[in-house]
Amino acid sequence: MNQVLRLKRWLERHECQDVRPVKVTFGTPRKSVTEVFEGCVYRRVLTYKAGMMAVTHGEAKVGDTYTECSCYLLGERPAAKQPKKNRRHDKTCFHHVSGVDWYVACYIEAAAITPRISASHPFGPSFIITPWTHVDKIDAGEFKRRRHVPYSRFPIGFDIDMTEYEQAENYAQTNHPQTAPNQSRLADA
């Protein structure tokens, strides 16, 4: 059976909604090269819990709900996200023509998948990308020696219309613009 169809069924069993197969094309530091990953885009309605940033900042109450929109993609992270020597923080995001920045919210590399956690990662190496929905730009707080250090932005493209997913995420953030909705990890479900 196709890995993407297996992933779709697995996500649906983990309370994901509107699950659809997707191919995502990432630009790379070498402008003539692109990478394509297959996976699924989905939504989940989650509940704020004590200790989450939105709750501690008073922007949401324990028990309030929010919608998470993400793409679960199969394979190692794109080349633009691979760690570089002597680099402490990753300053890369992916910019969609709609104006939305997407970032890698979490990932698992092949070397990290041990027998103990393999049930949580049945598809091997994978990563999840999520749209940045906060009021401030993704790199607004990045400073080095009091100078703003912007993120490197590489293009991203989808083989399906992502407007409804991006809008759903933005709509969910309207009441809580400073929240960090991706506090949960799908692998922990």
Question: Partners of 108 in the beta sheet?
Answer: 126
3 pLDDT above the threshold of 60:
yes
Residue type, 89: H
Q: How many residues does the chain have?
A: 189
Q: Which of 126, 127, 158, 130 is nearest to 24 (CA)?
A: 158
Residue 146: band (very low, low, confident or very high) from pLDDT cuts 50, 70, 90: low
* Whole-number pLDDT of residue 81: 63
Report, as an integer, the average pLDDT of 139-165: 68
Q: Which of 186, 29, 178, 56 is nearest to 122 (CA)?
A: 186
Residue 58: band (very low, low, confident or very high) from pLDDT cuts 50, 70, 90: confident
pLDDT per position as a tens digit, 79-129: 766 655 544 446 777 888 777 888 888 889 998 999 898 888 899 999 999
% of the chain at pLDDT higher than 70: 67
pTM: 0.74
Q: H or E segment at 3? A: helix 3-13
Residues 6 or more apart in contact with residue 183 via CB below 8 angstroms: 49, 52, 53
